[in-house]
Structure 1
Amino acid sequence: MFTTRPTLQGTFGMASSTHWLASQTAMAVLEDGGNAYDAAVAAGFVLQVVEPHLNGPAGEVPILIAPADGPVKVLCGQGVAPRGATVEHYTSLGLELVPGTGPLAAAVPGAFDAWMTLLRDHGTQSLERILGYAIGYAERGHPAVERVGETVETVRELFETEWPTSAALYLADGRAPAPGSLLKNPALAATWQRLLSEAAAAGPGREQVIEAARRTWREGFVADALLAASARPTMDTSGERHTGTLTGDDLASWEATYEDPVTYDWNGWTVCKAGPWSQGPALLQQLALLPDEVTAADVQFDDAPTGSASGDGAFVHRLIEGTKLAMADREAWYGDADGPSAVPVEALLSDGYNSARRALIGDSASRELRPGSPDGREPRLSAHATAVASGQAGFDPLAVSAGAGEPTVARDGVTRGDTCHIDVVDRWGNMISATPSGGWLHSNPVVPELGFPLGTRLQMTWLEPGLPNSLTPGRRPRTTLTPSLALRDGRPVLAFGTPGGDQQDQWQLHFFLAAALRPHVRGGLDLQGAIDAPNWHTESFPGSFYPRAMRPGNVTIEARAPQAVTDGLRRRGHDVEIGPAWSEGRLCAVARDPETGVLSAGANPRGMQGYAVGR
């Protein structure tokens, strides 16, 4: 099959990310003797500089790690709701939804502490060396990609009238960053340099310096500036100015934590995901809902012969309907809940439950939101989800669009936040998959002393008590961020992920099936072929981002898909939208053959930013 670029292969190291500078940074760290975890941390900080419209230091990052000599673990870099972030407080302000922008939407920042924890526990290099790459790009500049300027233009009025600190950085001389122009962030460079200077005073040990940096973030000058930003009245998507709820105790008491992944065995693979505080188990549910036998012809619908299972859209139809069922369960059951409200993950992934759910998939497209009853428990949906599912809440076509990713809506303009991704595998067999996001340049005003804004992840919670994803102090908002690792015979083989909000585990489903089932390239997984294959997504469930819309029956599919597939979907009752030829899916992937040690990588050509490197 023709691909946009080759699947890379080598034996030394591989990195794939959503920006070529981050990928090359990761490779530079590997060349310098670092391992996959050193490389991912350095690349993660570079992504904050070169993709500020997609992530920032005060955002969040779930990380899956597979050490060469240990079990797969999840490192949770998703911060919790502050202690003052109660349903009662938000509804007392006249709000029905958490705003999509502004300090009321800010959770405790999680990304920085997660990266530091990873570096401390699994890395080998000094913090000074790891941060040096990001400092260099922030201080000396980097060529701006097209979407940075496009995003800034979308929120120009907001920046100029309400968020002057953001205008000072991103509208210098009244102009948004032009593609290829050098974009600098001297305040961010100074932040990291000051943090390094203060951390170095803690002592010469590598771990001592990292721990001191964590304390400075939580209790020092960084914390002081973040708290001041949270307390500043800020215009948000409600059309009003609000202050946030973040306190010093919130920052000082939170730290990234390790936990076991949720796993599902499919066709000889064990797929590992973060728990139901993410949407990760939805991918596992989609796998559990598949027919007993799936073939390469089913997933190769870019050039499938007429009459094959996928040639008339039959298999794509099944995937879409399975996605709807899994996402309905996500809406009813997922969240950071415990006790009687704990998420019944084992039941949601059980054979009996999914056999009954699979029987709901008929020959025509469903337009209903149909959560199930695992263990006989009755599902409960938020009032807003029920309203959008029944058509009682209107759909704003400007608020949600095909392939949009993670939308946040700013006053007087629609803009798109999104996400980054990085995968790395090294010559020793260490593997990592991470999906940084949040703290976008348009999520909150830039904190002038720091060079970056607060995040907005609390917008994913409901202002209704008693739900698994209700806004609750000390609990994580259910995030869409969902990196993946896949094992064979207990050994890590594949790390992958994508930006894309609610679309992430839809795009990853088709990628994983294609990678697992399609013919191999030079004896290894055809990563690039699986990434390049035409993809799709549905919005036939309540969205995770403000304004939490739903489009019953919707499917958006790339124009490269055969006409027979789109015609078949329409015959089955789907509202098919044809997206641009290269618009669905922004996947990154690395792999390792445990028998030969051969490493491989591929990266998304869509958007002309993703890149894989290795040797």
Structure 2
Amino acid sequence: MGQFTTRPEITGTFGVATSTHWIASSVGFGILERGGNAFDAAVAMAFVLHVVEPHLNGPGGEVPALIRTADGPVKVLMGQGCAPAGATIEHYRSEGVEMIPGSGLLATVIPGAFDAWMLLLRDHGTVALAEVLAPAIHYARAGHPVLERVSLAIAGLKALFEADWPSSAATWLLRGEAPAPGSLFRNPDLADTWDRVVAEAGAVSGREAQIDRARDAFYRGFVAEAIGAYLRNAEVMDGEGMRRKGVLTADDMAGWSAGYDAPVSVDYGGWTVNKTGAWGQGPVLLQTLQMLGHTGIAEMEPGSTEFIHTSVEALKLAMADREAYYGDPEQGNIPLASLLSDDYAKARAALIGAEASLDQRPGRIEGLDHLAEAAVTRAAQITDRSVGADAGEPTMAHLANRRGDTVHIDVIDRWGNMISATPSGGWLQSSPVVPGLGFPLNSRAQMFWLDEGLPTSLAPGRRPRTTLSPSLAVHQDGTAMAFGTPGGDQQDQWQLIFFLRLVHGQANLQEAIDAPLWHSMHFTPSFYPRVAQPGRMMIEPGVGEQTIAALRAKGHDVEVGEDWSIGRLTAAARDPAGLLRAAATPRLMQAYAVGR
């Protein structure tokens, strides 16, 4: 205790809501104040985040969540849409694609977020559909203050919107210009969409029936019809500077629904840490913890050279395994039990040396050696070629290839219900706004490879291996904690540091969030153009010049970021006596925890 902190850790016994935007956190707590539970609050927060952080998530995106009811086990809410029926390697190759672009219509899979949130609301919430959508409708219609980063994102895409994505220009530009930071911004088409969903749902009686009617309106009604009609003829500029059509249809949407999965977990430091399966990157955190249990990291000072070096080297190994072996377990043999076994972790930990590794080193699993070899070969091939450099119009390709990020939500109510959710996708950078709906589609198909025989090969009905990675951990004393962060490939890296500081550093939630962060860029990333940077890592200067110099002496290629520039962690916890705690990062000055 007594470490530097930017703000107090929020404590209370009634409820806590924390997220990457203060308005969403306040909306969530307002739902709790009116008698809703943690799941009601999270749904309301998610739809508000679509409005106030449209450069980071949207209704056309996806969401995984870890949920725990007051009297039940941890479950995974699976809101990751699958590849459409027309998403075959043969078709994409025929379009001249070697790697799926980071934006545009070929990158689109079935939107998963809406159905996941509706499923959660129906099965575990308590309030009416109209009540949870009311705040999002308000901010879309009455306006909300534009974040500076939203303004900058729109300004940077102005030329692309005007030249090639006119529906986005009509939505995001005001009289031909990006909205000024802090000015009120409205999205009336999105408000109209949700008003119509609420009206159609209201045509039937009963809370659950209304929610199911809303799901129908989105996936089998007017929303799917609008998306299908647009995609039948739309041919738009993508991240490679080419105008291409997508393959998603209304029929794809009609046949899909969100669902629940069992979590995967490991025990570390008295905690059971729960994550999604290998269709997400969550097991990376679990593999890393398993390895670190064999390194003596518990005796290292958090933030010291050895602590940082050891955590980075373990993450490199786990990420190498992610690239080789992770994927949709419903469409492939994913050796997760082997990857999470203690014997495997011990053998992998033995590879961590005194110097930084510059090699991609996936482990070897019996019968699957070819996947490890393929991952190493891919990383080398991508580094050696220039992806998309000669495609189409380079200037427009550069503009179209700007990706968004993600948001995060943690909520715990007075009864002990809790959720950790990481919504993403459907960014304003991903593809044009669907005319009349007020939101774009996602670009999650860029997680797939166009090589045959891999767990992440493009295939109809397959889930892309997402980076989205919420966490829910339960201590042996009964304390439970929800935590997470935006950040793509960095999500489990920053969460690892946060968690280790809590376990080994005697920090509270806010102190653990405020402490300096770092991450590796050594491995093959998940986003176009997917170029690995061997040995490269980024670190905040707060660790000290001496530590940075020592890491360089160990062979790390260290990039020093700006102060308070890495990570957007939030967290919430509840102890057995009912004491609630919550915290949110000061980085970017927009995340907040609210509670009492």
For the criterion TM > 0.5, the same-fold answer is yes
Corresponding position of 1:224: 225
Q: Please give the secondary structure, in 2, of the residue aligned with 1:159.
A: helix
- 1:550 maps to 2:550: no
- 1:331 maps to 2:309: no
- 1:350 maps to 2:337: no
**Which letter does structure 2 place at the counterpart of 1:133?**
P
Gap change, CA 1:196 and 1:597, over 3 Å in 2? same
Corresponding position of 1:412: 398
Whole-Å Cα distance in 1 between the matches of residues 313 and 56 of structure 2? 30
Corresponding position of 1:15: 17
- 1:365 maps to 2:356: yes
Tell me how far 1:296 sits from its aligned partner: 6.7
Tell me how far 1:548 sits from its aligned partner: 0.7
Gap change, CA 1:410 and 1:119, over 3 Å in 2? farther
**Cα shift readout 1:347-378 (whole Å, capped 9, x = no counterpart):** 10111111111111111111111100134631
My pick for the range that moved more, 412-421 or 286-295, is: 286-295
Is residue 282–residue 492 contact of structure 2 (8 Å, CA) maintained in 1? yes
**Which letter does structure 1 place at the counterpart of 2:379?**
V
Q: 1:378 aligns with which of 369, 384, 400?
A: 369
Whole-Å Cα distance in 1 between the matches of residues 433 and 47 of structure 2? 17
Tell me how far 1:571 sits from its aligned partner: 0.9
**Identical counterparts, % of pairs:** 57
Tell me how far 1:530 sits from its aligned partner: 0.5
Tell me how far 1:519 sits from its aligned partner: 2.4
TM-score for both structures, normalised by structure 2: 0.95
Aligned CA RMSD, in angstroms, stands at 1.8
Corresponding position of 2:178: 176
Corresponding position of 1:206: 207
**Pairing 1:117-516 to 2, within 5 Å after superposition:** 117-201=119-203, 203-231=204-232, 232-292=234-294, 298=300, 300-301=302-303, 310=304, 313-338=305-330, 341-375=332-366, 377-380=368-371, 386-389=377-380, 392-394=383-385, 411-413=397-399, 415-489=402-476, 491=478, 493-516=480-503
Is residue 76–residue 114 contact of structure 1 (8 Å, CA) maintained in 2? yes
Q: Please give the secondary structure, in 2, of the residue aligned with 1:360.
A: coil
Corresponding position of 1:538: 520
Q: Please give the secondary structure, in 1, of the residue aligned with 2:473.
A: strand
Whole-Å Cα distance in 1 between the matches of residues 447 and 382 of structure 2? 20
Q: Please give the secondary structure, in 1, of the residue aligned with 2:546.
A: helix
Corresponding position of 1:610: 591
**Cα shift readout 1:428-450 (whole Å, capped 9, x = no counterpart):** 00110000000001101011210
Tell me how far 1:466 sits from its aligned partner: 0.6
Corresponding position of 2:26: 24
**Which letter does structure 1 place at the counterpart of 2:541?**
A
Is residue 17–residue 29 contact of structure 2 (8 Å, CA) maintained in 1? yes
Whole-Å Cα distance in 2 between the matches of residues 382 and 453 of structure 1? 37
Gap change, CA 1:360 and 1:395, over 3 Å in 2? farther
**Which letter does structure 1 place at the counterpart of 2:67?**
I
Is residue 271–residue 476 contact of structure 2 (8 Å, CA) maintained in 1? yes
Q: How many matched pairs?
A: 586
Q: Please give the secondary structure, in 2, of the residue aligned with 1:56.
A: coil
Q: Please give the secondary structure, in 1, of the residue aligned with 2:542.
A: coil
- 1:563 maps to 2:554: no
Tell me how far 1:230 sits from its aligned partner: 2.3
Gap change, CA 1:91 and 1:610, over 3 Å in 2? same
Q: Please give the secondary structure, in 2, of the residue aligned with 1:411.
A: helix
**Cα shift readout 1:380-422 (whole Å, capped 9, x = no counterpart):** 15868624336752579x9xxxxxxxxxx96233634000000
Q: Please give the secondary structure, in 1, of the residue aligned with 2:371.
A: coil
- 1:528 maps to 2:530: no
Which stretches in structure 1 are left out of the alignment for 5+ residues?
Answer: 302-309, 399-408, 521-525
Tell me how far 1:465 sits from its aligned partner: 1.0
Corresponding position of 1:523: none
Corresponding position of 1:81: 83
Whole-Å Cα distance in 2 between the matches of residues 492 and 125 of structure 1? 27
**Which letter does structure 2 place at the counterpart of 1:531?**
I
**Pairing 1:88-127 to 2, within 5 Å after superposition:** 88-127=90-129
**Cα shift readout 1:159-196 (whole Å, capped 9, x = no counterpart):** 01000111111111121111110010000000000111
Whole-Å Cα distance in 1 between the matches of residues 6 and 55 of structure 2? 26
Tell me how far 1:564 sits from its aligned partner: 2.1
TM-score for both structures, normalised by structure 1: 0.93
Gap change, CA 1:79 and 1:579, over 3 Å in 2? same
Q: Please give the secondary structure, in 2, of the residue aligned with 1:590.
A: strand
Q: Please give the secondary structure, in 2, of the residue aligned with 1:362.
A: coil
**Which letter does structure 2 place at the counterpart of 1:474?**
G
My pick for the range that moved more, 373-382 or 45-54, is: 373-382
Gap change, CA 1:193 and 1:382, over 3 Å in 2? farther
Corresponding position of 1:587: 569
Whole-Å Cα distance in 1 between the matches of residues 374 and 302 of structure 2? 40
Whole-Å Cα distance in 2 between the matches of residues 351 and 378 of structure 1? 20
Q: Please give the secondary structure, in 2, of the residue aligned with 1:107.
A: coil
Tell me how far 1:327 sits from its aligned partner: 0.2
